[in-house]
Structure 1
């Protein structure tokens, strides 16, 4: 257990959902397949010419070109340019078209989420949302503290005492914290003890919320579960191998409660708790397709036409395959297969992605996870965190025997990347902490030899804490970064004040420095860590406003004029940020030959917005609020507002 009670030596984050890992092997895929009635045909597309608005095709990444008209047919773009030219080219192809007036709205290529988790995000939709971020507005809730948790859980108590109360997205890093100049800062922590009455404002007693029902709260970074006493008893008494091992470690229930405080971490600890929950409560398989549909519908409402799943395992792929047989395909899905922890022998030979494969569901890479979450205090650092946590440097996943805190590249990581690169598959590697990033670059350098990473578009995910030296190494190796820009917007303030201090100001999400070195970058949500929403990512990259600052009343400050900027020198222009959620994101996802721009022959994937996000008259702090009026995939409207 971490010294602040959060158990911060676990390696989970949005890239590895422990709930899914604990339960995925219990799914009867044959039973799910038997529910499939028939395969739905792909809906047809329309033949249209769009005009009377603002159209940016982004052809060849040109962010300045604005055209008068766009023609589509058969699910693809036919032409863009002047209205007369587009009409002539449509007629030359014998296409009977209909005019589609935009009425002053803005048409852009479909937006792209280059790092999300579909099934893993959907599996907990039936749980209580105890997070700090309002999914609907993509804003921090006005109040997020211990009392918010008490009220939210208290308002949703089940009618009987045996039903588990399950919550997710709990985020101690976005609750009030205490600064200790010259010492270790203190984040909010949780305990379980019926007789415990904490005097420290940063400690909450879970038994004071509910004492009869078992309560389990999953942290937002998914590295820790928090249990009340009733849940501790259920976990301790459960009849499975993990609970049996728990009873070997803790001789009595009381010893278990006293020594853990109800906080379990690491893969074993989290899975021990999850597997103690009745399956019907832990994972609502009856509604799993409904939850996946909600996920896809939300993406369409946010203007997304392509998502890239950053950790696809076999059960997740099977569920999505079955989903695709019974539901309209409103999104294109690319993915990276999860590293199996062995020798990559289960991978098929690498083949470049074709347009036909990319119509719906394609694999374009392999995913490895080197460390954990910075806001979860498990990202692996070169210097200790500035707040209380154990271990003080975080956690690295590829350690040599008997060395859990390496300060030089572990042989285990070096060997793993040699094997990974040798497969020929493009890699996306999760690395958050500055030492994890350095290890990853050193391992890439060794594995690539004289080969450039650009050839396979190798990536580093999150790539949070950088230096000029690691940026130069990224450039020289041809490795592209994808930034979880919500780190700046949502957690920038706590990073700067309590978790990293000056390190956050100097090193967090150096987007501008990456572009200045000629790198192609993308911006991602890592949903469900932050909500789906490329326009919100664009806004946070342009403004770098720290939304987590609180006023004297303890509420998050909503007036953007009063929100400080984190390292203004790293702010992107609107054009640069838009390119990072369209053209360059498509390139990173191996899809730029058919989407990410509206080139002739590309998929007719685009979004129609009520306002132009490139127009300076639209406040930069309001970009996430721009209405997505319509979303089109393959020449078919998959989302529209009723009044459009």
Structure 2
């Protein structure tokens, strides 16, 4: 449960949010159902012919085709081609239209986010953002270190919001893996990441010594709780530990059963609580008035969707939807304008599949607003959280040397089974038997190996391509596991921010040369004919397909520091495994055409084929134009976003 001040991990990552699991009981389902009384009509679509710019229809995945014009009507694409051809098609159908000049701008199919978490992200939106990534620019905050964290928290505590000293300080997205680390420089000696702890001097009631990581030196007179960016560790100061340990709820009672005295609890955990057993009592100890901020979830969701539209996203695929969040998403769609389409994977704990409905292929009509495309399982943890399940130990200090696997057969902790656990194979057999396509979270190389073995047995000789089964993150690969992906027919979706944001920490502190050889082997996957996508796992990294495209093309390690500051000059940022850089066309295909295929949406999205939804984005610059520096792709302005022939965002 505790990390002894050295581990920074979580059991999962954004794929299973413990805050949502703990607080969703506060949602009044009847109240939400009442709000969903009236169905909002779909916004009216326009009849237009776009011309006078660069138009890439991406029909059948052709990344080289450019057309002169695009015609839309009734929310769908009517035709693309020369202006004369499009005008003739519109006239033949008796469509009265207006011509819309693009003014030299670039029109593309709507961008697709194939793996994010909507409700689970929004539930914490009212907490202080302590993350390392600036939301607006999608670049690393500078500085991002202990001094910044302390200054940021104390500045917020000085505001009127915290005049009431019973109010907890709640922070989200704090990330020790992107704070300065110490390289041992000696073979066999582990590197050290920044560690957070409380009450370093147990001879005193509190210790406010200003040393790196001591949370009591930030605030000691009220509870402080921060949750890690990788989502399965909370960090508490002594005041929070005191409340959590002595709180009268069943989860805190379980803590008292484990740690017989408060002093033992502090000395073992140092305020680091992990996984559901540790996080739940902490969250249930938060004052109800703060926990119930979940009632603002519709406001936070509106902001979330507006951000998505501003980034050119027209289809967002939620990678883990439980029954409560499904109801909230449905209620939102009935009471708010729907400015993007949402697909989702139904969450499953790997044991109980009773809530999974019978399989139905996705239809265009069903997918107009909200559709289920798959079922989600989570096999291991987070690599930057030091809980991705590895074949060899991490190169930095952690109390879980090889991470976590969620389906191990009974046995000693912190060991790496050489054989596939029977429990995991049984789970995969049951999951495949539902008939649904699967999305399986597997980060570490051993977790990926086990997942591919289990897929192969469960599929009984059939190709995974038949259902478009996926592995999520699929971070650490070898030539052998890439060959297995190809032979079993499993598609990878890469959290490419691992390279851009954490690549330097992976290469120099967490994995060392293993990161150079194995992290996000995008080009090797394409060389084997695999169809890949790029995702954000939002809120682990921000929504931003163009940023994902840039990071896949450049593989620049933005996390390298010089004189204590991140190097912001792209020309001086090192590249992680240059041979894995994608071309611009390959990366764009991964956030449009192939992402639609992975999300079971290619029959109506991902390209501007005749009859597809008129979902597209208009950009100020052409991301395929080499005149635009590759390191500036994320900075291209999204001028307009259209869904179903209706403008949902304008800059």
Q: 1:139 corresponds to which residue?
A: 139
What is the Cα-based RMSD across aligned positions, in Å?
A: 1.3
Q: Which stretch of structure 1 is more off in the superposition, 2-11 or 316-325?
A: 2-11
The match for 1:392 among 372, 397, 401 is 401
Q: 1:513 corresponds to which residue?
A: 524
Q: CA separation in 2, counterparts of 1:104 and 1:244?
A: 65
> Once the 2 structures are TM-superposed, how far is the Cα of residue 408 of structure 1 from its aligned partner?
1.3
* Secondary structure in 1 matching 2:565: coil
Answer yes or no: is 1:154 the counterpart of 2:154: yes
Q: 1:171 corresponds to which residue?
A: 175
Q: 1:185 corresponds to which residue?
A: 191
Q: CA separation in 2, counterparts of 1:345 and 1:403?
A: 31
Question: Could you say if the C-alpha distance between residues 6 and 31 of structure 1 is closer, same or farther in structure 2, counting changes exceeding 3 Å?
Answer: farther
Q: 1:24 corresponds to which residue?
A: 24
What pairs up with 1:508-587 in 2 under 5 angstroms? 508-552=519-563, 554-587=564-597
How big is each residue's C-alpha offset from its partner over 1:16-73, in whole Å with a ceiling of 9 and x where there is no partner? 0000011112321102222345321111100000000000000000000000000000
> Once the 2 structures are TM-superposed, how far is the Cα of residue 6 of structure 1 from its aligned partner?
4.5
Q: CA separation in 1, counterparts of 2:283 and 2:123?
A: 13
C-alpha contact 2:615 2:643 (8 A) present in aligned 1 = yes
Answer yes or no: is 1:498 the counterpart of 2:504: no
Q: Which stretch of structure 1 is more off in the superposition, 236-245 or 115-124?
A: 236-245
The match for 1:619 among 622, 629, 642 is 629
Question: Could you say if the C-alpha distance between residues 8 and 152 of structure 1 is closer, same or farther in structure 2, counting changes exceeding 3 Å?
Answer: closer
* Secondary structure in 1 matching 2:440: strand
C-alpha contact 1:12 1:18 (8 A) present in aligned 2 = no
C-alpha contact 1:47 1:97 (8 A) present in aligned 2 = yes
* Secondary structure in 1 matching 2:372: strand
Q: CA separation in 1, counterparts of 2:291 and 2:107?
A: 42
Q: 1:316 corresponds to which residue?
A: 325
Q: What TM-score does the superposition give when structure 2 sets the normalisation length?
A: 0.96
> Once the 2 structures are TM-superposed, how far is the Cα of residue 255 of structure 1 from its aligned partner?
2.3
C-alpha contact 1:4 1:189 (8 A) present in aligned 2 = no
> Once the 2 structures are TM-superposed, how far is the Cα of residue 433 of structure 1 from its aligned partner?
0.2
Q: 2:202 corresponds to which residue?
A: none
Q: CA separation in 2, counterparts of 1:556 and 1:128?
A: 23
> Once the 2 structures are TM-superposed, how far is the Cα of residue 252 of structure 1 from its aligned partner?
2.6
Query: Where in structure 2 are there 5+ consecutive unaligned residues?
Result: 200-204
Q: CA separation in 2, counterparts of 1:131 and 1:516?
A: 35
Q: 1:74 corresponds to which residue?
A: 74
Q: CA separation in 1, counterparts of 2:291 and 2:53?
A: 48
Q: 1:129 corresponds to which residue?
A: 129
Question: Could you say if the C-alpha distance between residues 593 and 277 of structure 1 is closer, same or farther in structure 2, counting changes exceeding 3 Å?
Answer: same
Question: Could you say if the C-alpha distance between residues 503 and 536 of structure 1 is closer, same or farther in structure 2, counting changes exceeding 3 Å?
Answer: same
Q: 2:260 corresponds to which residue?
A: 251
* Secondary structure in 2 matching 1:156: helix
Q: CA separation in 2, counterparts of 1:583 and 1:592?
A: 7
Answer yes or no: is 1:217 the counterpart of 2:217: no
How big is each residue's C-alpha offset from its partner over 1:241-282, in whole Å with a ceiling of 9 and x where there is no partner? 011111122233222222211110121101111111123313
> Once the 2 structures are TM-superposed, how far is the Cα of residue 342 of structure 1 from its aligned partner?
2.1
C-alpha contact 1:9 1:266 (8 A) present in aligned 2 = no
C-alpha contact 2:35 2:335 (8 A) present in aligned 1 = no
* Secondary structure in 2 matching 1:134: coil
* Secondary structure in 2 matching 1:577: helix
> Once the 2 structures are TM-superposed, how far is the Cα of residue 7 of structure 1 from its aligned partner?
3.9
Answer yes or no: is 1:596 the counterpart of 2:606: yes
C-alpha contact 1:464 1:508 (8 A) present in aligned 2 = yes
C-alpha contact 2:321 2:347 (8 A) present in aligned 1 = yes
What pairs up with 1:339-488 in 2 under 5 angstroms? 339-404=348-413, 405=415, 406-488=417-499
C-alpha contact 2:215 2:237 (8 A) present in aligned 1 = yes
C-alpha contact 2:223 2:239 (8 A) present in aligned 1 = yes
Q: 1:638 corresponds to which residue?
A: 648
* Secondary structure in 2 matching 1:284: helix
Q: What TM-score does the superposition give when structure 1 sets the normalisation length?
A: 0.97
C-alpha contact 1:9 1:390 (8 A) present in aligned 2 = no
Question: Could you say if the C-alpha distance between residues 316 and 6 of structure 1 is closer, same or farther in structure 2, counting changes exceeding 3 Å?
Answer: farther
Question: Could you say if the C-alpha distance between residues 285 and 343 of structure 1 is closer, same or farther in structure 2, counting changes exceeding 3 Å?
Answer: closer
Q: CA separation in 1, counterparts of 2:605 and 2:131?
A: 33
Q: 2:111 corresponds to which residue?
A: 111
Answer yes or no: is 1:295 the counterpart of 2:299: no
> Once the 2 structures are TM-superposed, how far is the Cα of residue 195 of structure 1 from its aligned partner?
4.6
Q: CA separation in 1, counterparts of 2:496 and 2:69?
A: 33
What pairs up with 1:280-291 in 2 under 5 angstroms? 280-291=289-300
Q: 2:64 corresponds to which residue?
A: 64
Q: CA separation in 2, counterparts of 1:37 and 1:457?
A: 36
Q: CA separation in 2, counterparts of 1:576 and 1:378?
A: 31
How big is each residue's C-alpha offset from its partner over 1:389-433, in whole Å with a ceiling of 9 and x where there is no partner? 011000000011225432210000011101111111100000000
